[in-house]
Structure 1
Amino acid sequence: MLNNRLILISLLLLVSQTISAQIKVSGKITDAKSKKPISYADVTLPNAGIFTITNTDGSFYLESEESDTILEVMADGFEFMEIPLTSKVNYNLSIELNLDGSLKENSTVELEEANISTRKKKYKNKKENPAYAILREVWARKKQNGLRNVPQYEYEEYEKLQFDLNNVDSAMTQSRLFKDMEFVFDKIDTSQVSGKAYLPAFLNESIYKVYGKNDPKRERKDLIANKSSGFDDNEIVSQTLKNLYKEFDIYENRLNFFNINFASPIARDGFSIYEYELSDTVNIDGIDCYRIKYFPKRDAGHTFKGDFYVSMNEFAIKEIAMQSTKNIDVNFVRDIFVSQQFEVKNDSVFLPKRDYILLDMTLFNKKDQSKGIYAHRTVSFKDFNFETPHPDNFYDPRNHDPYESGAFEKDNLYWANARHEKLSETEGGIYEMLDSLQQVPRFKRIVKSVEILGSGYWNVLNAIDIGDLYSTFGYNEIEGFRLRAGARTYFSQNDMWRLGGYLAYGFKDHQFKYGAEARFMFNKFNRFQIGAGTKRDVEQLGVQLTTSDGIMTRSFASSSIISQGANDKLSHINKTNVYAAIDPWKNVTIRLDGNYQTTRAADPYLFDIGYINEKGQEEEHLIDTNVSLSVIARPGAKFSRFGIDRYEHSTLAPTIMLRYTKGFSGLFNSQFTYDKLQAYFYKPFLIGSLGRSDVVMEAGKIFQPVPLSLLSVIPGNESYGQIPGTFSQIDYYEFVTDSYLTFILDQHFNGWIFNKVPLLKKLKLREVGFIRAAWGDISDEAIGMNRSDIEYIAPRDKIYFEYGFGIENIGLGNFRPFRVDFNWRGNYLELPDARKFGVTVGMNFSF
């Protein structure tokens, strides 16, 4: 998901220094006869050894620090052209190529053992293409990262993250937004990939020492040094930038960018997606390599163009360059550029050498001239060691601090010697300029405003957060208009303890509500923590099966301004919670909760939750004392920060939870003894070109009869908003169970269908299909003890299901957060007031 704060921050954190490249060239290449653009033509500065490939619209940009006076242009089937360069900067060249009538269709030259065509040729089948023989050898060797084939390994990793503001023009430099900050525009640089003018805005460098073993799998990553461009406390910038990148293996058939599958140029089915041209041989690092150009066969949104180099002896990828096509169908992203370099060890093993990714992003408009940002990530690897073993306890995070003492205090001399590659003058100037920028009061105020918009909290005195500001207003049938004010301690992003609380008032019921909690973490390695809290509030309890034990949380359904039904089945709860939690293994949490809660109807005339106790007496209040033990696993999840509140990166990691709850009759006047077992599973799956499947499954059973407020209600949704994990065509408390099993599948096709329809393709809409199903049962004893006048129906004899389709990616320009779902109820249509069809609307800031 793209954080919608990304552009705002990048528009504010502006600095500049520059280097002057010796040569800058941009232009467009067209067919002299038809005037159509020529895509994927080779454009080269021969003396500088720099080249590129034109885009689908024929445009190109080249830049070199070495001087050159000649530009060479070569396209399949066209005459070769040399163009003299009369100045260092040559923008907007218009180059027309003539067809080369002297070339025959079968004209070829011998290159080692492969025939390389001198002009583009249509092959009857892929086996006639000489590139196929090379790629077949690449596939046969099943290349593997050498780090996974040795007993143990260690290496040094250098990471550089950078934000730039691009398409800087005179209108921006004269904007009143930058009053008192005009010095940031002293010099402006130009991107070597796109040719756009940009201002560097943020730089973060890190050096890690990485240790690993493969049997069993263990890895340890120690931060040796970190240097940030004056914004060490600005968590939003660095975390958002880190969250943009996914790890991928170029040898996989599909590559994950923004949780969207892109077809790899090395995919086994690549010949059905890409055109390949074997065009040259090149020596790289003393290794003779084939150069193969590739570009998509058709106008597809999740493909690349570029070239790669295959070592002749090992048939391994030595280098690869990938650039997304012009019509990339990813929100907020105009362009992706990837460069990877590898050390080739033998026929089946390679080692990473250097990765570089550039993302050209914009919030509202994808036009080339619109303002946006560059997000860069460079990672390099060196000093590999495969000989030194370490015991298992060496990798245990409880036995070492992943942040080396003094990692954030390294001086300039250390960085000058420790960097894997020297900073350019532009990059080096970021540190100095941002230090100056932070002294400007106006800039401080702007950054403060952006932080408030992004987090929903207003930090005062560097100690207290006021918020969540987005929860200030609410409405429901019981409270009417509701106001809420809250606060929490916040000294840093890695606080080991936190206090929080809120106060709310309903203007219809004229009652105050409140909540407060305290949480303390004693060990950042196993994350051992304890907490306690209490709250008194009005809530909708029938919208979540696997409930949260948190005090500060409140379901969206508890306040809904526009509803499909009356939101009056609310409960007044008074809850106290104490807990202890620990992570005995990475991404595995064991949590023990003790809860004391009283529950009564918020308005018994609208919704009665009374029951008959064990003595046969009628009760209005339920008193429940219980203890729950939960095991939550998030294998593969990635987090930033080590404090009590962590920032989670967007990944495809599953969530698996098992929970056992025991109720104790007589403890603190508790009225029921019961045993409750629950399981929860969530996982997004990337399904080739079909997009992403989001799967949610929940199951549970209560082994004794209990009152309504303790039973498991199949979560309904009476609002017009989309609430994850709920059933859109079920009313609150329509299905009540003590045993249940639910399944929800959302299939995001990412335009797989709509992109085949020309009109819909231009609208950039994306289709979603979904199905939701629930089975449940309820005992006669549970029904008999409850006084409520609701119908106690469980989907036992037939599984309840609903289905439908949605249209997402609705909006204007590049801002497309809206989704509309059309929901149909599949059965139980005979029930009174059953909603057969409904429309729900949601928002999702995703790629």
Structure 2
Amino acid sequence: MYICNLVQTVFFMIRNIFVLLLTILPIYIYSQTQVSGKVIDDQGKPLPFANIIFVNSMKGVVSDASGKFSLYSEKNHNYIEVSSLGFTSKKIRLQHKITKNLIVELTEGEELEEVVVVGKPTKSLSKKENPAYTVLQGIWKNKSKKGLKNSQAYEYKKHSVSELGINQLDTIFLKKVLGNDYAEFEQTLMERKNRGFFSMPIYIKENVQKVYGNNQINKQRVDTEAERSQGVAQNGYGLERITKAFDEFDIYENSYLILNRPFVSPLSEYGYGTYHYVLKDTLVEENRNFYRIYFFPKIDADLALEGNFIVDTKTFIIKSIEMKTTPKTNLNMVRGLFFEKHFTIENDSIYYLEKEIQEADFTILSKDIEEKGLYIRNTIGYSDVVLNQPKATLFYEQKIVQKYRDQFVKGDTYWQQATVKSANISKTTRLIKEVADNPKVKLITTLADIIGTGYVSLNSIPLGKGLQFGTYWQVYESNDVEKHRFRLGFRTFNSIEDRFRSYFYGAYGIGDKRFKYGLSAKYLLSEEPRVTFGGAYQDDYLQLGNYLIHDDGNFTFRRGSNAIINRGENYFLTRNQKTSAAITYVPLKNIEVSVFGVYQHSQSANPEHFFIAFRDLKNNQTYTNYTDFNTGLNIKFTPGRNVFGYGVEQRYGEKIHDTYVLKYTKGASGALGSQFDYDKVQVLIKKPITVWNLGMLNTTFEAGKIFGTVPLTILTPTPANQAYSIIPQSFALLDYYDFINDTYLNGYFEHHFNGFILNKIPLVDKTKLRSLLFARFAYGTISQQNRDAHQTNLIYNTPEKLYWEYGFGIENIGFGNIRPFRLDFIWRGDFNDVNGTRNPKFGIRFSVMPNF
């Protein structure tokens, strides 16, 4: 009883104190002013010992050695004044009672300048009330008829500098890394200090191009004039991929694709539903009048940006735009993104880019300002612009094609004349040379390559030079035939630009006590046009019931037939002894044409549980071992895909793109003992669609038909997935060979809302979860001839009435900045389930898909 009374008394005391605080706090906040930030000079360096004072008061502070300050008063103040010896003072108007992260730049010898601090509006104005909306209407009306497209012809020089490095470093870390050389680079590092931390570059790449365009014949020619790179990433793969994180985008588009996420453009025609707009200034420059408009996301977690743009009052051409993500933007492993674009307005109809800056700051565990991270900074300068001086048509048709990595490398003499003045390239390059061989820095880049590729270099061990072990995620798998399967794989690797690459592996099953293996090799025959040739031999168990189109020109053996944990039984494996070869020709970028040949012997890996006999109706013979020789043509078109590299294996960026595949296969009876004569035609179409600010819709269609009578190993069963993980283009609530077809049409639809829905639900928005919807269907038939030709323990079933799976998913599950997990909740339509146990009508599947 005493304890109850004590608890009750404490409860009421806490409640009363809480109520009292709620009563006093608003009054207290209303009658106070807080401002904090940093004072810098016009070079961006911190200004220590600057004076910051509330105007018309004696209340003030002095900035610290890093230029930082924090000023507080119990009274209301609308202005602060900042001054420092040798610099012009600035008077700054405060828009809010509490102002944080204010950056004050002092300059020498200039008149007093008033800086307006613009904060995010607390309430949304209607279109009629907001003068910025009229300006936006002018931008939308005129955006389609401006730019270099209005000139007859154009040419300019484009100088790109990409820098990758580690940021948020302190002096202790730098002294450990640089050792005795720290003193030599101390001044350079001090120039790179920001918010009390240092950044250290580890890789830099420069590229100079000449661009020529002719709008009368709609032709453009791009010549690389020079390039160079320095640093640890030039021998790796993972970091090189990171430097290509940004794609070019037109600021007038309704959405920007950044890190494969569709951000709503502040200039979008439907941007008013996403942004607050504040028209704040009218500027005069070069005899033109401009408006400055600030924009802020209405919901900070949405895929939107904050910043400002300057627009011409007459033509509504954008003069410049600066934008960045907010600290709450629903992105993983990203502390911040920043974009800046500046334009030259030639006249009322022509404008062109003058300068671009793109920055990204990546972290792993959290977005905390003190966590070490990886940054990318791209600076692009445009110069030597020439308008309306077209060249001969033949000039634009001639292309200088890059055939190898160092083709356009120039010496120091060239770069001393060409270097962007503001980029401070020479100091950065010297620093990179120093840290390139540092063990700690190399460890970071090595780990990035291991995670990005799945391979581990063996150069440090005897007989391991030029070899890599991998992929490590295929070391262990399981199925009902092999029980526990162990695999060791290797590939040759001297550099990412190798003309020759070979793969080989060995696997052993505890259950069947059989050794399996595979060996492949491929070689780059020609750089221009690009031609590769490869061949492989594989003796292994394959799961032919979980995919439809096989790429016979890919010799990496990255099979997906097994998993660590499966549901149901998986005896449905085929033992394949397969010899294959292919020659691939690339006539144009992102178009691949492959001619292939395959010779294989196939049989069931476990006839007791998976009996597949074929009865030849012509000669009344029955086969349980099949011999098949086929050849064919595979055409693949991937418009917009980011392709780079000059070796036998090119690399691909993360930019989303369409995919179109057409494959024709001809089975030749009698050739090398082949038993089957058939024709197979298959089509695949993948198309991601940005749906305004509602997210991304991924659509995939597969269709195919077989002409002829063939065994089960050549038919096209509906792809099933018996693992508990999510596998694209498969059906999670089907078992292998539930549906067996010779004609099929499948569709897969998956819409990712990217937080659009859950960001708007109170409390749920704190979790940073994202939602998605999906649906997929399968349609198929099989001819009576193919039904009659089979003697098997499977009952042939086809989805002639359409089979559906549908549901929703929750992704971005995790902690802090690491959120790779996804859960799908799946339902299916009913069907005549005749093979094995009846499948459930509902299931939950998961995946680990690290993404931004």
Q: Which residue of 2 aligns with 1:500?
A: 503
Q: Tell me whether 1:428 sits opposite 2:426 in the alignment.
A: yes
CA distance in 1, matches of 2:526, 2:723: 42
Bigger shift: 464-473 or 435-444?
435-444
Q: Which residue of 2 aligns with 1:93?
A: 70
Q: 2:726–2:847: 8 Å Cα contact kept in structure 1? A: yes
Question: 1:470-485, aligned counterparts within 5 Å?
Answer: 470-485=473-488
Q: 1:223–1:402: 8 Å Cα contact kept in structure 2? A: no
| Cα deviation 1:34-55 (Å, max 9, x = unaligned) | 279999x99897x9679xxxxx
Question: 1:775 pairs with 776, 779, 784, which one?
Answer: 779
Question: 1:284-303, aligned counterparts within 5 Å?
Answer: 284=285, 287-303=288-304
Mark the CA change 1:438 to 1:421 in structure 2 (over 3 Å): closer, same or farther.
closer
Give the SS at the match of 1:839. strand
CA distance in 1, matches of 2:415, 2:434: 21
Question: 2:821 pairs with 807, 818, 822, which one?
Answer: 818
The number of aligned residues is: 782
Amino acid at match of 1:266: L
Q: Normalising to structure 2: TM-score of the pair? A: 0.84
Task: Tell me by how many angstroms 1:457 deviates.
Answer: 3.5
Q: Which residue of 2 aligns with 1:457?
A: 456
Question: 2:602 pairs with 599, 606, 612, which one?
Answer: 599
Mark the CA change 1:556 to 1:746 in structure 2 (over 3 Å): closer, same or farther.
farther
Task: Tell me by how many angstroms 1:503 deviates.
Answer: 2.3
Task: Tell me by how many angstroms 1:168 deviates.
Answer: 2.0
Mark the CA change 1:350 to 1:789 in structure 2 (over 3 Å): closer, same or farther.
same
Amino acid at match of 2:620: G
Question: 1:358-437, aligned counterparts within 5 Å?
Answer: 358-386=359-387, 387-391=389-393, 395=397, 400-401=401-402, 407-411=408-412, 413-424=413-424, 428-437=426-435
Mark the CA change 1:237 to 1:285 in structure 2 (over 3 Å): closer, same or farther.
farther
Task: Tell me by how many angstroms 1:645 deviates.
Answer: 0.6
Give the SS at the match of 1:142. helix
Q: Which residue of 2 aligns with 1:6?
A: none
Q: Which residue of 2 aligns with 1:233?
A: 234
Mark the CA change 1:406 to 1:270 in structure 2 (over 3 Å): closer, same or farther.
closer
Give the SS at the match of 2:755. coil
Task: Tell me by how many angstroms 1:289 deviates.
Answer: 2.2
Amino acid at match of 1:777: T
Q: Which residue of 1 aligns with 2:706?
A: 702
Q: Which residue of 1 aligns with 2:552?
A: 549
Q: Tell me whether 1:328 sits opposite 2:329 in the alignment.
A: yes
CA distance in 2, matches of 1:704, 1:73: 88
Larger radius of gyration: 2
Give the SS at the match of 1:132. helix
Question: 1:709-728, aligned counterparts within 5 Å?
Answer: 709-728=713-732
Task: Tell me by how many angstroms 1:441 deviates.
Answer: 5.6
Q: 1:276–1:293: 8 Å Cα contact kept in structure 2? A: yes
Bigger shift: 218-227 or 380-389?
218-227
Amino acid at match of 1:658: L
Q: 1:204–1:227: 8 Å Cα contact kept in structure 2? A: yes
Q: Which residue of 2 aligns with 1:108?
A: none
CA distance in 2, matches of 1:211, 1:727: 49
CA distance in 1, matches of 2:743, 2:529: 34
Amino acid at match of 1:665: S
CA distance in 2, matches of 1:581, 1:703: 26
Give the SS at the match of 1:126. coil
| Cα deviation 1:71-98 (Å, max 9, x = unaligned) | 6999xxxx99997866764314235582
Question: 1:587-626, aligned counterparts within 5 Å?
Answer: 587-613=590-616, 614-626=618-630
Question: 1:661-810, aligned counterparts within 5 Å?
Answer: 661-796=665-800, 798-810=801-813
| Cα deviation 1:244-289 (Å, max 9, x = unaligned) | 1021111122222112222222222333332322222334466442
Task: Tell me by how many angstroms 1:807 deviates.
Answer: 0.9
Amino acid at match of 1:788: T
Mark the CA change 1:84 to 1:306 in structure 2 (over 3 Å): closer, same or farther.
farther
Task: Tell me by how many angstroms 1:674 deviates.
Answer: 0.6
Q: Which residue of 1 aligns with 2:129?
A: 128
Q: Which has the higher contact order (CA 8 A, sep 6+)?
A: 1
Task: Tell me by how many angstroms 1:557 deviates.
Answer: 4.3
Amino acid at match of 1:236: Y
Question: 1:637 pairs with 634, 641, 659, which one?
Answer: 641
Q: 1:543–1:715: 8 Å Cα contact kept in structure 2? A: yes
Task: Tell me by how many angstroms 1:768 deviates.
Answer: 1.4
Task: Tell me by how many angstroms 1:458 deviates.
Answer: 1.4
Task: Tell me by how many angstroms 1:172 deviates.
Answer: 4.0
Task: Tell me by how many angstroms 1:322 deviates.
Answer: 0.7
Q: Tell me whether 1:570 sits opposite 2:547 in the alignment.
A: no
Amino acid at match of 1:389: K
Q: 1:123–1:129: 8 Å Cα contact kept in structure 2? A: no
Give the SS at the match of 2:135. helix
Amino acid at match of 2:158: E
Q: 1:632–1:657: 8 Å Cα contact kept in structure 2? A: yes
Amino acid at match of 2:567: Q
CA distance in 2, matches of 1:237, 1:785: 50
CA distance in 1, matches of 2:130, 2:297: 15
Give the SS at the match of 1:736. coil
Question: 2:841 pairs with 819, 836, 847, which one?
Answer: 836
Bigger shift: 647-656 or 362-371?
362-371
CA distance in 2, matches of 1:229, 1:365: 29
Task: Tell me by how many angstroms 1:513 deviates.
Answer: 1.6
Bigger shift: 576-585 or 659-668?
576-585
| Cα deviation 1:653-705 (Å, max 9, x = unaligned) | 10101111111111111111111111001121111121111111000001112
| Cα deviation 1:463-493 (Å, max 9, x = unaligned) | 3333333323322222232232333332322
Give the SS at the match of 2:253. coil
Amino acid at match of 2:482: E
CA distance in 2, matches of 1:465, 1:36: 66
Mark the CA change 1:488 to 1:723 in structure 2 (over 3 Å): closer, same or farther.
same
Q: Which residue of 1 aligns with 2:22?
A: none
Q: What is the aligned-residue RMSD (CA, Å)?
A: 3.6
CA distance in 1, matches of 2:136, 2:684: 43
Give the SS at the match of 1:34. helix
CA distance in 2, matches of 1:742, 1:512: 36
Amino acid at match of 1:473: Y
Q: 2:300–2:329: 8 Å Cα contact kept in structure 1? A: no
Q: Which residue of 2 aligns with 1:160?
A: 161
Q: Which residue of 1 aligns with 2:83?
A: none
Question: 1:68-107, aligned counterparts within 5 Å?
Answer: 89-95=66-72, 98=76
Q: 1:530–1:579: 8 Å Cα contact kept in structure 2? A: yes
Task: Tell me by how many angstroms 1:194 deviates.
Answer: 6.2
Question: 1:165-180, aligned counterparts within 5 Å?
Answer: 165-169=166-170, 172=173
Task: Tell me by how many angstroms 1:779 deviates.
Answer: 0.9
| Cα deviation 1:169-210 (Å, max 9, x = unaligned) | 3664577x8889977984644778866543333322221223
CA distance in 2, matches of 1:506, 1:392: 62
CA distance in 2, matches of 1:186, 1:658: 58
Question: 1:574-585, aligned counterparts within 5 Å?
Answer: 574-585=577-588
Q: 2:238–2:449: 8 Å Cα contact kept in structure 1? A: no
Task: Tell me by how many angstroms 1:428 deviates.
Answer: 3.3
CA distance in 1, matches of 2:600, 2:33: 71
Amino acid at match of 1:834: N
Give the SS at the match of 2:128. helix
Q: Which residue of 1 aligns with 2:90?
A: none
Q: Normalising to structure 1: TM-score of the pair? A: 0.84
Q: Which residue of 1 aligns with 2:850?
A: 845
Task: Tell me by how many angstroms 1:420 deviates.
Answer: 3.0
Q: 1:144–1:350: 8 Å Cα contact kept in structure 2? A: no
Q: 2:534–2:555: 8 Å Cα contact kept in structure 1? A: no
CA distance in 1, matches of 2:666, 2:33: 71
Amino acid at match of 1:468: T
